[in-house]
Structure 1
């Protein structure tokens, strides 16, 4: 055997016939030479089947090695009339590490890992046949073909592995045809082709459409670049390239299907110019244009395999899922209070209203504030407001406030140090949520620093990002009404159907979870000095925080909670009236005072604002600073400073209701009153009509009395003798009451005579007045 001969190539090179020649019959790999025996060994590379013309289907096997005359082969490469060419002398070897590094998508990486595992299993079958000298060296083809015991050893190896003898031969042939490389045993390796090359489509790929099966369309589907050859994708006008251009339109404003329709209207449609100058695109029938699946497949393939999710997220955010940057968030701090990490997300639970369990509410925004050194959670925000500077500042405020009253409002009794209160020196937040004028003013006023992570760089605060998943798994997904972080599947109940917890009940569960979280052991975060000198202290997050603070390893900012609270609360519209400050909000689309939301304090009375409103008779519009989920207190900014106000409502239960729930109750109450308005107006109308009827009847009687007199009374006579008339009227009513009481029992003769005598003694006009009053009373009572 000779490794080198008078040829422009060495063993393992790829050769092929030139056009018009058929010496090899297609691409082949040179396995070895033997100048003494005038022999050249070669093996056919995987190629298309010959049974069908223009077939693009590969054979599932590789034929055994063949041999021909070495002199004849040499003559093919001599002179100008060469009948064979060298396709490739040396092929690049790609390592498994490099191959996996090219896979950016986790699914693609998992698929390649499965291919590698399958390749290794195949290689293990033939490995003992390739190495027999014990030194690990792989024998050349020349050594193996001269081994007379090879057929017997193949049969023995087949029996050992439980494979068919033909399968062992097939693996050896595939190994040799692939250049004696392990990757030649990769599944689908013969079909890989050259980089960027795809198989031509003479027929539509994939399953047949329902319309074709029903006989409603004449063809199975639209084959891309039919009759254009395998290199059609290199043509700028190819179907696949057109789909790739259309795929590049996908963005947040243009969803994938909209981009598909625009592509179809541009390239697979007839265009007509209308009289007004607009262009009307009439799409081709569906069997004469690409499908959405073809658009999605080739658009992704010819655009660096970017999926729609990757386009939406952007390259930087997408790489964060697959790139490990090393290091830890803990590397940024050495003492407590040095850095607070802040992030927010949506909780995975639908809730019910405090007013009614039948009224369902959407998931809330939940923001969490975490001390970076000890990883203690010491602040949070929970509400339906969208993330904003106001919610971010309220989270920082809760972190700096005592949690005892907050926990007490939901029925939890805790100590001051169970959830610590502190103001950190620095806060690491997302790029945008706290980027506003007010947080910047807080930095200057309180001496804190707010650091914004770059866009799509959540890995900078990866510990709190992972905590979102922890609280969702340990809390949200265990409560009723959870979404489990997934979209509702078709046919399943909406999560709101099963929602039971209200705001206060969910807040209670969240606080209990935070307490448990802070009491978890994290020995890797505990200082070595604490572990050695105080082994009796359990290395929980909370104990680590307490120990570091007690030993002076703290960088927290000193502050007064009153000034911090007054500054950081959001502004709520209000108005100053003579008896206090009322909240103003939209109720059923109309701005109005919120009843029972009145705030006052001795400091407000001493300020003179209420007296000024009473003397002027005009209310003063203003703004209160307060948490909309805590109606117990508020702050009124004045020229002399912030005035602390308390809820003056005598109803203690109202103080613990979030403003949104109270407004929803008022809206429902107003709608209920609107429904009852017809009944109320009906009753009021009856009263008015009866009143006017009484007036008309009384006026008729008065006119009749005036007409019966010889002379009409003067205006002065109506106001004369008012005192005497009053006494007579009182006496008349008293006698009438006595008569009504005595009517239940027969009166005695003496009483009858006295009554008759008394009535006869009255003057004539008095008897007429008595009769008029008696008639009036009867009508009034009957009405």
Structure 2
């Protein structure tokens, strides 16, 4: 049983129906065995809340304690209405604080009504507590005397105002109008007059119809039509036509194989703009642009639940992303600048917790289980010898090796019996995302795009990740570099990404230990401090009701706070608050950003309180346990240092870009010189057809020269399966096809060069 206290609510328990709110305790005196209860407004026959507030009643405290003890009544907390929490400035500025849906309320008129109501009871309540008011013998009969002073016909308005003031325990916002008869929140409004921009009279005289407002039938079926027919690749107009044919057809007449559909008269007055407007009014309905991007309501909900990918991984070797992509390059053979090859493929392994590139495999082989396993093996090996092969000298800590407990892949190169068996033997697991959906390995997909933009697309002969457009020069005629001239720049980009690119340190503990703000520094610190296994974090929660206000906004991932030290709109990085209630509400699904005020203790950033249909508590969405312990001022200082460090780090990136440009220009210059020499020795410049000819054979010869593994000719039949194996003899089908002496010598000379 819970004790009866001032401010609590007494709720009556009924066996045949739902519990009923009886009243609120406004005063009690245990010595006098006295209890004063202010009743809540009742409801009429239609279920609407009455405007009149009943008078407070005086009862025995012991009798009510017995009722609570035997279960007839219960004691619960009082949840203040949303408009009771508004400040004077919010009322005067007509703020939208506390609203879950759009409203046309005018708070300035509400404030005026509150002031008028308070003037009626001010002589009796000013400077007095609720105890003094309810225990004053003059309370009974005072409204009649006050009405005579003001020359009013009745005292009902004064009595209602006084009762409401007592019910609110002296809160003047309790005198604000409730307007309970204005319909439910979010109820659709139907206008009889035509809404929207007026049509000029000249156009109406020329035969243009005025249009028509959408009634309830049209709004419902426009929403159904948008959900059913608006898909990726389907225009709004086409979906609108399908909707009219499905739900607005009056009759269908057939003339042979052709259909003649007669639409309802009002259907001809609707347009595609109205269809799109009412089709996207639902919080779950995506816009036309979002549908074309491939978004769905289920995908949006999944993204809100999963949060940021980095926040899900606390260990350096917990999970890794693996994915393959094209290098977007048109390379030439190492033996001849006139032999054009296909674009190579790149498979990378990226740490999920740090975005560190632990290994990759680059070759002309198409993505497969073998390339995936080779990339995993490269991630576990030392890279000193590998980089020396391409003329780059590094130390072991410049490209760290790592093995992982789980590999996150898509339904491609990693999903097969060979890869699964190999991962099982390594005591590693694998997880697979949805088909054609990069949501589970977004960081690696972003890194692919960054590498292609900084390396592949800046080199001659790049495919730019698309087909050649009309008027563009042929990629084969622009190809200049071979594989061993391309790989050093790719490796240098990976080394810059791991060792030189300035990043924001994930945790405050790293900043306290002075960790180098690079991905290598983060990985080395996590290995040195034992961050190789996950551990749960203990979060402490404090419920705070009266805190300073900060400007905030609701976004799809939660509530973001604005920097109070900045004269404008700038979000505080790293502070995102959310809760199960917020993720399940429609606020995070709205396309329009919602501005509100949040209550935050500057010494404890783990919780905020916001007024959204009542006071709600939101928790900080961060896996960093130390972030819950710092103050707001410390975090703003740290964020400012991060911005300065990132700005200074741009000099390293600019220097790296300049070095890459100089190296690329020199390689292209040498390649042009060798290409021109070959053309001069040949006598004539090869045509486009000659450059494109035998590309597959050239690629196979290049693959043989690079790997040292010969291929069997396709035109010679293979020996039968039943033929016995003889070590001393070799049939013609098993003999490798020898390379041409001049071609092999040219490849070796190019590699030695």
TM-score bin, normalised by smaller chain: 0.3 to 0.5
TM-score by length of 2: 0.42
Q: Which has the larger radius of gyration?
A: 1
